Structure 1
Amino acid sequence: MSYSEYVAHYFQMPQFIIFLLLTAVLISAVHIVFYFYTKSKSKDAEFFEQEFFSLSERYYELIFSGGSIIGFMAVYFLITLFLKSGPFKEIWDSYKDYLLLIFMIISILLNSFCDHVLVRLKHLDRDAMASIRLTGMGYMILILCYLKFIYESNNYDTLIAYFLTLMIGRFVYFDASFKDFLHCIRNAASNIPIMIMALINLSILCAYGYSTEYLLKHNGVITNIFFTHLYMIVVIFVLHFIPARLVAKKKVKKLDGTKKSSRPPRERRERRPNRPKPVEDNSEIDVEIIDL
């Protein structure tokens, strides 16, 4: 299969629409779970908004970070699969280690593009962002463990080594203390339920794709996982506006239902006429000045 046929396969109808709709249903189910979970914790409108969007944006960031890392692994596999000869093949064989480092940097930039431009994550502070990205590393480790020990593939050993280098480079720095590391680990542990939801969605999509032969097995598992993440990123971009509208509408309804005061608003109150200030009689002062 040539590269053009390979790309065209993933845009065949109706498989493309069905897979996209299935992804949208799974992402919507995630929003519904977050909605009822947040609603059960508190009925305060401000707390509901912050908690709901915090959970949703953690899920988004997990998909963004995982997809960006899987992306550079998929590029490595596709180059190895399709690049058989030519001048670029010689360059790739000579400098692929350095090119992979460039791919790693590009993956980090793509992650920042997704969570700052594509979908702006406004409800996560710096600690929450660091913890969910660390959880994303655990998410990737589980996927790679599946490839190595369950799928029993040795084709990704080099990629696993580069991934561990990326993980160390992003989360280990010279001025980091052991206390800060434990604090980040503790925050990342709170994101485990979100990671489990992401793995369940990924498993359902991959199982459906393989059962219908929409995901081609000979293209590599890592490539199919990357395509699945691309679908999830596209659906997140399309659907993330809907929860924002619904939560904003919920807040407006709650404010409209509050008890109104019988006192008219300050803007509508009639202003009282200003009383004229008494004019002081300065005649005596003038007389004294004249006498002098």
Structure 2
Amino acid sequence: MSLEKYINPNFTLFQKLLFLIMTIVGITLCVLLIYVGTKLTYVPNESGKKRKLSSAEKKFLFFKNFHLNIQLFIEMMISATSVMMFACSYIIVNHVYSIVTGHSGKYYGFDEFIKTWESSKDFILLLLICLSCVANTIIDKFVIPLKLPSKEQKASIRMLGMFYVIIILLFINYTKGEAKVYGPVMMYYLSLMVGRFVYFDASFMDFLHALKSAIYHSPLLILGLLTSGSLSLLGFNLGYFLERNYYILGSFYTHLFILVVLFVLHNSKLLYLFVRKPKEDPEPYYDEYDEYDEYDEYDK
């Protein structure tokens, strides 16, 4: 596989538009499923038991939880795409290294590159992982600004996004036989996942809290995997992505299309026309909902 084949030259503009439409359909289904899932949830009172909510409370809670769940889903996809982007970077550079070392004398002038990669590729991978965190922050601060999730929720979702990528790598690893390519990347991300759960100053309760948070948001993980997996499968079957390339690249292209759709969906605020904020806020009945100011910006 030559370097220029990483991008399919036969993936025409018309085909890209078709795939974008498919992505819009996929994200629309995600929104509808999140809508239904939010409808089925409830908020307990202080004793932890269900109680009948007033009509105003139900409307406000649905508005709040729906848009929060949407932004958590967006955060997970941003995190997964950022992680995947730098995983792909590592794989591509490693492929360049294999080409250079496999054609002795043909690629004159790559001695320094070969020496650096052989001695420091583990540190380079670690640097790429750090850059993925920076890219994640830049995207959800400036490109797709997400204001509803708390810092704790974002941290939990980013961890889930890392787990999301590990699942994709494991699937490709065991179904496509590319273990040598993905092995180092998986080990690094798996180590970070374990470190996120269990670190040297963490208590057992901290571990349980992190685990509970990850399990609570697991439906978003499943939803994201089903959406991206279905779109990637369509892309490969239709010939938009090249099977002779590393499969992770096709999955990465799929996530780029997903981010484009989410960018338009979020910044256009179309969902606030679909699920509007109630005209009157209910009286606070639960400490978590004492502050409603964060939603005032969407009244404009």
TM-score, scaled relative to structure 1: 0.77
Quote the residue 1:259 is aligned against. Answer: none
What per-residue deviation string (whole Å, max 9, x for no partner) do you get for residues 180-239 of structure 1?
110111111111211111111112111111111111112101121111111111211111
1:21-170 matches, cutoff 5 A: 21-39=21-39, 41=41, 44-83=58-97, 84=100, 85=107, 86=110, 87-155=112-180, 156-170=182-196
* Alpha-carbon distance in 1 for matches of 2:29, 2:250: 22
Unpaired stretches in structure 2, ≥5 consecutive residues: 43-54, 101-106, 281-300
Deviation of 1:50 after TM superposition, in Å, equals 1.2
* Alpha-carbon distance in 2 for matches of 1:175, 1:168: 14
Deviation of 1:5 after TM superposition, in Å, equals 5.5
Quote the residue 2:20 is aligned against. Answer: 20
Residues 131 and 185 of structure 1 are in contact (CA less than 8 Å); yes or no, is this contact kept in structure 2?
A: no
Evaluate the alpha carbon distance shift between residue 153 and residue 53 of structure 1 in structure 2; reply closer, same or farther with a 3 A threshold.
same
* Alpha-carbon distance in 2 for matches of 1:6, 1:126: 36
Larger mean Cα displacement after TM superposition, 181-190 or 39-48 = 39-48
Quote the residue 2:104 is aligned against. Answer: none
Quote the residue 2:214 is aligned against. Answer: 188
1:143 partner letter: I
Quote the residue 2:201 is aligned against. Answer: 175
Instruction: Give the alignment partner of residue 237 of structure 1, picking from 251, 254, 263.
Output: 263
Unpaired stretches in structure 1, ≥5 consecutive residues: 256-292
Quote the residue 2:284 is aligned against. Answer: none
Deviation of 1:90 after TM superposition, in Å, equals 3.6
Deviation of 1:169 after TM superposition, in Å, equals 4.8
> What secondary structure is seen at the aligned counterpart in 2 of 1:213?
coil
> What secondary structure is seen at the aligned counterpart in 2 of 1:9?
coil
- Report the RMSD for the aligned CA atoms in angstroms: 2.4
Evaluate the alpha carbon distance shift between residue 203 and residue 26 of structure 1 in structure 2; reply closer, same or farther with a 3 A threshold.
same
1:99 partner letter: I
> What secondary structure is seen at the aligned counterpart in 2 of 1:219?
coil
Residues 209 and 215 of structure 1 are in contact (CA less than 8 Å); yes or no, is this contact kept in structure 2?
A: yes
> What secondary structure is seen at the aligned counterpart in 1 of 2:146?
coil
What per-residue deviation string (whole Å, max 9, x for no partner) do you get for residues 139-181 of structure 1?
2232122123233322211111222233345554433211011
Instruction: Give the alignment partner of residue 202 of structure 1, picking from 228, 238, 241.
Output: 228
* Alpha-carbon distance in 2 for matches of 1:48, 1:247: 12
* Alpha-carbon distance in 1 for matches of 2:126, 2:162: 18
2:244 partner letter: H
TM-score, scaled relative to structure 2: 0.75
* Alpha-carbon distance in 2 for matches of 1:148, 1:118: 32
* Alpha-carbon distance in 2 for matches of 1:2, 1:141: 27
Identity of aligned residues (%): 33
1:245-264 matches, cutoff 5 A: 245-247=272-274, 250-251=276-277
Higher-Rg member (1/2): 1
* Alpha-carbon distance in 1 for matches of 2:27, 2:154: 20
* Alpha-carbon distance in 1 for matches of 2:270, 2:63: 10
